A and B are shown apart, each in its own frame.
Chain A
């Protein structure tokens, strides 16, 4: 059975749907609890609906933003996995990073033809183990988080924490990016440089256009991919 059939099989769709079902049930249950609490505090239903509506409308734009990168995920790991992973913790770029890191353990490049069932399995383990990190922290510490936040802000300068996180994330993507470039032919260099330039343009020149900013990653990716293929 070839990889495409397996990763897009009905079985994979069903296996991938469980967490989405949990996500939906969780929100519905919290919604019900919140509305019950609202009633007991005499908050007018109209206000609650207004708040809910405005939050939902605000969510529309950013929810649409990963659409293009979704295509990238579908191309690499198939639709069921892309669907699952974009509906749970972990942004598209984090999942792509984890797929790359996990496949690297057996020396496979996810975008190459060598990406096989084994690499796919490793990728899935990677994403599962990574995402579990956030879920465990939330599970174990949320109810005492208020105290922890106070302690953290007392012990460390919040500004340094921000720099630390930025440094670590920039370091990770520097590693991933250089990994793509170091032994590569010209086409990969073109792809990276063109998409980087595109992202730079969009964020500097069109910084007032909110919608374009949200789509910037997807657009830059497409432009980089296609121009690089065209000119090499």
Chain B
């Protein structure tokens, strides 16, 4: 089928690979800068520790998310999306809109071309917006009233509380169970002197187990409802 012609084009794959390699290198430039200019670098075991924490926490996402979004993004879209980010909230709607407005369908060569145009266009928009707002934000952060500056001391519980509700809102039972388990484990961890990374794994594991229970009960329910 013709659709292989655009998307699986070796030239595009080469472009994608080169830009991702450049991205991975650029990813580390700030830490290299801190090392070269200020001599600050974590000892190798700590770097390994940090990487392991990231792997355990986000490793499943690293693999599953690109797989899950591939059918919508396509090949070029994936190269762009997993470098520039905001896949679910900006790139996917951009693809859908571009295809909808022009009538080119997904899976056709025209559909893939227009979706690439849409995603690339959306990147130009998001980078511009974030740049503008960073400049504004950087300038107003110092002139914020003292009260607001003081409130940044509790910014993390505020962010995590809101994020938690956002994530759990469609699965209230799972959400309630997981936070209760998490609080329980955390209290115990302090009593028993369990290190943070182990607690992290334990609670994520608990979250997965609770999700499995929820999944199995839903599957059973839908089977008995047949």
Interface string of B93-125 (1 = CB under 8 A from A): 111011111101000011001101111111111
Among the listed B76, B98, B154, B197, which residue makes an inter-chain contact with A225, where contact means beta carbons less than 8 Å apart?
Answer: B154
Give the most central of B28, B47, B156, B166: most A CB within 10 Å.
B156
Q: Which applies to chain B's interface (DSSP): helix, strand, loop or mixed? A: helix
**Which residues of the other chain, B, contact A194 by a CB distance below 8 angstroms?**
158, 161
In Å, the complex CA distance between A37 and B104 comes to 14
Give the most central of A18, A23, A124, A146: most B CB within 10 Å.
A23
**Which residues of the other chain, A, contact B46 by a CB distance below 8 angstroms?**
105-106, 122
In Å, the complex CA distance between A102 and B165 comes to 24
Interfacial residues of chain B within 44-72, with CB under 8 A of chain A in the complex: 46-47, 49-51, 53-55, 57-68, 70-71
Taking the nearest CB of chain A, how far is it from the CB of B91, in angstroms?
8
**Which residues of the other chain, A, contact B79 by a CB distance below 8 angstroms?**
26, 30, 138, 142
Q: Is A177 within 8 A of B76, CB to CB?
A: no
Among the listed A76, A121, A133, A183, which residue makes an inter-chain contact with B58, where contact means beta carbons less than 8 Å apart?
Answer: A133
| Given A52-B117, A66-B130, A226-B147, A132 contacting B27 (CB threshold 8 A) | yes
**Which residues of the other chain, A, contact B59 by a CB distance below 8 angstroms?**
133
Listed A/B pairs (8) with beta-carbon separation below 8 Å: A16-B30, A31-B121, A70-B137, A130-B58, A142-B70, A188-B157, A220-B162, A229-B154
Chain B residues near A (Cβ < 8 Å): 6, 8-9, 11-13, 15-17, 19-24, 26-34, 37-38, 40-42, 46-47, 49-51, 53-55, 57-68, 70-71, 75-76, 78-86, 89-90, 93-95, 97-102, 104, 109-110, 113-114, 116-127, 129-131, 133-134, 137-138, 141, 147-148, 150-169, 171, 174-175, 178-179, 181-183, 185-187, 190, 196-197, 199-200, 203-212, 214-215, 219
